[in-house]
Amino acid sequence: MNKFLPLLSVGIAFLSSCSTPPSPGSRPLKIAVNDIYCMDTACSCVHDVAARTYPQLLEKLKANYGIDLQLVYFSETYQLEDAIASGEYDGALCKPWYALRHQKEAGANFQRIVDVLDPNNNRWLTGIVVVPADSPIQTLEDLTGKHLYIGQADAYEKHQAAKRLLEQKGIRPGKVDTNASCGENVGVLLDEEADAAVLSDYALSADCAVDFARPEDFRILARTEQIPLTSLMLDMNKIEEAEADRLQRALLALSGKNAPETLLGNGFVEPAPWNPPELEAP
Amino acid sequence: MFRPNDARYTVVGLVEVLQVTLSFGFLSKEATPLFFSSGEYYNAFIITRFYPPHAHGDFTMKNTTLILCTTLLLPGAASLADYQVEAQIGKGQLGQISQIAIGADDTLCVLEKNGKVSIFNPDGSLASTIDTGLQNTDAIATAPSGKIHVFSTLTKTKKVKVGARMRTVHIPIGVECSVFDPSGKKLKTMKLDNLKSAKAARIVGDKLVVADLTARTLVLMDAETGEETGRIKKGLRLCCGIFDFCEAPDHTIAVSNLGAFRLQRFDLDGKLLLEFGKRGRGIDDFQGCCNPVSAAYLPDGRIVTVEKDPTRIKIYDANGKNAKQIKGVEELVKGCEFIPVATDSKGNIYLANTKGHIVKLVP
């Protein structure tokens, strides 16, 4: 009988580990990452501003708090979304909409535990409605009957938020088309194929468009509502509430003056409330 | 396993075009194993019954009819191209590859940043090398005569302040072109004063076309004299330091307009003849932050496009539609890196990667 005891112990330990959700302290948490300002996911042409790296933070989390985050970087957001939808990740660090819009199919319950500050310590993202600098269009109201390009449904600030802005103002453009990238929306303005376009507000500073368009070439007519730029979200179907709290506290403690230099800004802040109406049950 | 050319089977069926639509649902269950031709250019459905010789008419349609489909629809359903990786060329022999081109007799000319040109035979063996004596070489062009043009971007250094630090940057100021015969003998050197830099170059008809990244312009010149004959600039959305184009049929060129997620074909007067592509999820779309980075035409007029990270090599039809991805090509680069591509007269595709070798794909 004694010779089976070690085996029995291992079996009990294995079963008990299966019975409770894994926690940040018990195993590495696999996080899918796409961050506008992270060198591992941003285009190289903006690496002067998108120079954030996470290894230093991960080391401190592990050394000081026993929390092991395993980041998997996706430079292509379609791959990021597929990864999130697969349900194979414990969380995501990205524009929250990328994860929230897939949580149903992923069988996930994403909770934003921190917002990530950009290098200017800004937490918000907006869509900007722009026209060429020399356009006769002066106000948002002037877009009535005009040709407008917005983003596609995966880009909340350029699509849902832009549509809502127009709806709230009672503006009905003559034609609304979509492009998947800010660069293409910049292009239709440079090629004079449209009157106005909606871009992400970082498009002319932290996107490939910086290589062929200058901010002074465009005039901003309006901004959409503010939404969080980047959040760390955990799937609460896989993570215990207490452990999510522990990770949140650790990240907030590693922020401000304690933020690792490689984060570029002040690190993290508590998540701002954001409840996209598109996620509410009909 | 059924084979349509199996002598035991006798073709007694006939074309049943209308049945195709009705049949598709049960084909895979009831008539397996199926044989689908890999041909892509047939315009009609041909469904032919093959009756085994022992059946003698006492069989039912359900259990004996085997159906051969040779159809245009099937390649559309399957989005994989009939290419495979055959070889890796130049492993251990090449450094930082900047461009590749097909030379005389389908040889492969590989240009390195340090000015070295390696010429490989079609079987992948190294034929010769040319030490051009040039530096900062990003562009190579081969002429039908076998002449090899190598382009060096001349720079001046300047100290600039970036944040709190001073950095030395190299500013492009001009281009020098040296011409070699296939044996490596230098024939002449030209200073191209109308260029700031040369990222890619092709000889198209009697024109030398150079991609000047600094000026964000395609510059067209007389191939012999270097005299400028035209420029193509409008609509080019270049980014990540990448600017490539290829020769297209009928003395035209196709530009990889990566920031616009398009491939655009122009005549040598700058008239836009064809464009396709957009960012998106579909197989016909381009992905990543900006793509395609390069392209090449196959001898039959189809178009090979190259996307960097994630690496996707696709073949479109001549109209820029019906893309199919070539499977089996590993990630060639990480991040925003250029991937040179070339195709030879047999339709073989060559791709360069940052690991210092060439991947050869064969049909």
pLDDT tens, B74-88?
Answer: 444 457 779 988 888
What distance in Å separates residue B147's CA from the closest CA in chain A?
Answer: 35
Partner-chain residue, chosen from A43, A76, A209, that has the shortest CB–CB distance to B336: A43
B55 with B112, same domain?
no
Nearest to B67 by CA among B25, B22, B23: B23
What angle do helix axes A55-65 and A241-253 make, rounded to 10 degrees?
120
B220 with B307, same domain?
yes
Please report whether residue A79 resides in a domain. Answer: yes
pLDDT at residue B214 tops 60: yes
Please report whether residue B138 resides in a domain. Answer: no
Please report whether residue B124 resides in a domain. Answer: yes
Question: Alpha-carbon distance A231 to A191, whole Å?
Answer: 35
Please report whether residue B154 resides in a domain. Answer: no
Instruction: Tell whether A82 is within 8 A of chain B (Cβ).
Output: no
pLDDT at residue B315 tops 50: yes
Interface test with chain A among B242, B257, B272, B279, by most A beta carbons within 10 Å? B279
A201 with A146, same domain?
yes
CATH number reported for the structural domain that contains residue B96 in this entry: 2.120.10.30
Partner-chain residue, chosen from B239, B281, B310, that has the shortest CB–CB distance to A45: B239
What distance in Å separates residue B181's CA from the closest CA in chain A?
Answer: 37
Domain extent, residue A131, equals: 127-225
With contacts defined as CB-CB under 8 Å, which chain A residues touch B241? 45
Alpha-carbon separation of residue A186 from A129, A149, B48, B260, B285 (angstroms): 11, 9, 53, 9, 18
Question: Alpha-carbon distance A129 to A182, whole Å?
Answer: 12
Question: Alpha-carbon distance A129 to A32, whole Å?
Answer: 30
What distance in Å separates residue A117's CA from the closest CA in chain B?
Answer: 21
What pLDDT, on the 0 to 100 scale, is given for residue B80? Answer: 79
ipTM exceeding cut-off 0.90 for this assembly = no
Are β-strands B186-192 and B262-266 bridged in parallel, bridged antiparallel, or unpaired? unpaired
Question: Alpha-carbon distance A161 to B203, whole Å?
Answer: 49
Q: Is A134 within 8 Å of A101 (Cβ atoms)?
A: no
Q: What is the pLDDT of residues B17-64, one digit of tens each?
A: 333 333 333 333 323 333 333 332 223 333 323 333 333 333 333 333
B129 with B231, same domain?
yes
Nearest to A222 by CA among A273, A158, A278: A158
CATH number reported for the structural domain that contains residue A204 in this entry: 3.40.190.10
Alpha-carbon separation of residue A184 from A41, B257, B268 (angstroms): 20, 11, 25
A181 with A266, same domain?
no
A112 with A60, same domain?
yes
Please report whether residue A9 resides in a domain. Answer: no
Please report whether residue B325 resides in a domain. Answer: yes
**Contact: B237, A187; criterion CB under 8 Å:** yes
Q: What is the pLDDT of residues B327-344, one digit of tens each?
A: 888 888 888 889 999 999
Domain extent, residue B328, equals: 84-133+201-362
A84 with A99, same domain?
yes
Q: Which of A199-213, B107-121, B279-293 has the lowest mean pLDDT?
A: A199-213
A205 with A132, same domain?
yes
Report the share of chain B in percent with pLDDT over 70. Answer: 77
Non-local (6+) Cβ contacts of A34 within 8 A are A41, A73, A74, A75, A77, A80, A93, A94, A95, A98
B250 with B357, same domain?
yes
A140 with A214, same domain?
yes
pLDDT band (50, 70, 90) for residue B162: low
With contacts defined as CB-CB under 8 Å, which chain A residues touch B279? 179-181, 183-184
With contacts defined as CB-CB under 8 Å, which chain A residues touch B309? 75-76
A143 with A156, same domain?
yes
A180 with A113, same domain?
no
pLDDT at residue B12 tops 90: no
Instruction: Tell whether B287 is within 8 A of chain A (Cβ).
Output: yes
**Contact: B239, A43; criterion CB under 8 Å:** yes
> What is the spatial order of strands in the sheet that B252-257 belongs to?
B245-248, B252-257, B262-266, B272-276
Q: Which amino acid is at A162?
A: A
What pLDDT, on the 0 to 100 scale, is given for residue B168? Answer: 82
The H or E element spanning position B221 is: strand B217-222
**What 8-state DSSP symbol labels residue B320?**
S
Instruction: Tell whether A193 is within 8 A of chain B (Cβ).
Output: no
B212 with B354, same domain?
yes
Question: Alpha-carbon distance B222 to B203, whole Å?
Answer: 9
What distance in Å separates residue A82's CA from the closest CA in chain B?
Answer: 11
Give SS3 for B246.
strand
Partner-chain residue, chosen from A44, A186, A211, that has the shortest CB–CB distance to B335: A44
Instruction: Tell whether B241 is within 8 A of chain A (Cβ).
Output: yes
A118 with A144, same domain?
no
Please report whether residue A178 resides in a domain. Answer: yes
Burial class (CB in 10 A: 0-12, 13-18, 19+), A274: middle
What pLDDT, on the 0 to 100 scale, is given for residue A4? Answer: 54
B123 with B19, same domain?
no
A211 with A133, same domain?
yes
How many cross-chain Cβ pairs, A to B, lie less than 8 Å apart?
A: 75
The H or E element spanning position A56 is: helix A55-65
Please report whether residue A4 resides in a domain. Answer: no
> What is the spatial order of strands in the sheet that A29-33 belongs to?
A69-73, A29-33, A91-94, A231-235, A110-116, A268-269
A255 with A238, same domain?
yes
Cβ within 8 Å of A, B 24-83: none
A74 with A136, same domain?
no
pLDDT per residue as tens, chain A (282 positions):
455 555 555 454 444 444 444 454 468 999 999 999 999 999 888 888 889 999 999 999 999 999 999 999 999 999 999 999 999 999 999 999 999 999 999 999 999 999 999 999 999 999 999 999 999 999 999 999 999 999 999 999 999 999 999 999 999 999 999 999 999 999 999 999 999 999 999 999 888 888 889 999 999 999 999 999 999 999 999 999 999 999 999 999 999 999 999 999 999 999 999 999 999 866
Q: Which amino acid is at B134?
A: L
Cβ within 8 Å of A, B 310-339: 310, 335-336
Instruction: Tell whether A212 is within 8 A of chain B (Cβ).
Output: yes
Please report whether residue A7 resides in a domain. Answer: no
Query: CA B144, B150, B153 angle in degrees (round to 5)?
Result: 145
Instruction: Tell whether A191 is within 8 A of chain B (Cβ).
Output: yes
Question: Alpha-carbon distance B128 to B117, whole Å?
Answer: 8
Longest alpha-carbon distance in chain A: 89
Instruction: Calculate the CA dihedral of residues A187, A188, A191, A192 and round it to 10 degrees.
Output: -150
Name the domain count of chain A.
Answer: 2
Please report whether residue A2 resides in a domain. Answer: no
Non-local (6+) Cβ contacts of A222 within 8 A are A128, A129, A140, A165
Please report whether residue A270 resides in a domain. Answer: yes
> What is the spatial order of strands in the sheet that B228-232 belongs to?
B200-204, B207-212, B217-222, B228-232
What distance in Å separates residue B235's CA from the closest CA in chain A?
Answer: 7
Please report whether residue B150 resides in a domain. Answer: no
**Contact: B235, A78; criterion CB under 8 Å:** no
Question: Alpha-carbon distance B249 to B299, whole Å?
Answer: 9
With contacts defined as CB-CB under 8 Å, which chain A residues touch B239? 43, 45, 183, 208-212
Instruction: Tell whether B289 is within 8 A of chain A (Cβ).
Output: yes
Name the domain count of chain B.
Answer: 2
**Contact: B289, A43; criterion CB under 8 Å:** yes
Please report whether residue A5 resides in a domain. Answer: no
Using alpha carbons only, how large is chain A's radius of gyration in Å?
22
Domain boundary among B52, B77, B102: B77
Question: Alpha-carbon distance A83 to A94, whole Å?
Answer: 12
What pLDDT, on the 0 to 100 scale, is given for residue A7? Answer: 52
Task: Provide the whole-model pTM.
Answer: 0.80
Give SS3 for B134.
coil
Instruction: Tell whether A45 is within 8 A of chain B (Cβ).
Output: yes
Which residue of A lies nearest to B338 if distances are taken between CA atoms? A44
Cβ within 8 Å of A, B 96-155: none
